[in-house]
Amino acid sequence: QVQFAESGGGLVQPGGSLRLSCAASRIIFRLYTLAWFRQAPGKQRELVASMTRDGTTIYADSAKGRFTISRDNARNIMYLQMNSLKPEDTAVYYCNTDSGSLDWGQGTQVTVSS
């Protein structure tokens, strides 16, 4: 059973922007703090940003000031607005609970390159 469906990735030039989307079930949105993670080739998966149901956010240092996490609890969609993208942001991006406790989706590839 697919619990998360990520979309919105692509190829973008340095300095560009992308908005990622994550769809999940209503029960997941109701129960969990949700987060975006990313995994670059040869590296461990890392947390990028998280958001509680009431809107409290946490960002990795690498994301602060450039990325914005948001969630639409009525539509069961979470977003990650990414601005001023850098080549080091290249990774597969995933959504999950903030502890990564549920099954991982396929992720969405973000490639930042000129």
Question: Beta strands 10-12 and 108-112: pairing type?
Answer: parallel
- Asked whether 89 and 82 are in contact (CB, 8 A), the reply is yes
Q: What is the model's pLDDT at position 85?
A: 98
Question: At which residue do the structure tokens 């919105």 appear?
Answer: 8
Residues in the chain predicted with pLDDT less than 70, given as ranges, are 1
Phi, psi of 69 (to 5 degrees): -95, 145
Q: What is the model's pLDDT at position 73?
A: 87
Q: What amino acid is encoded at 24 in this protein? A: A
Q: What is the model's pLDDT at position 3?
A: 87
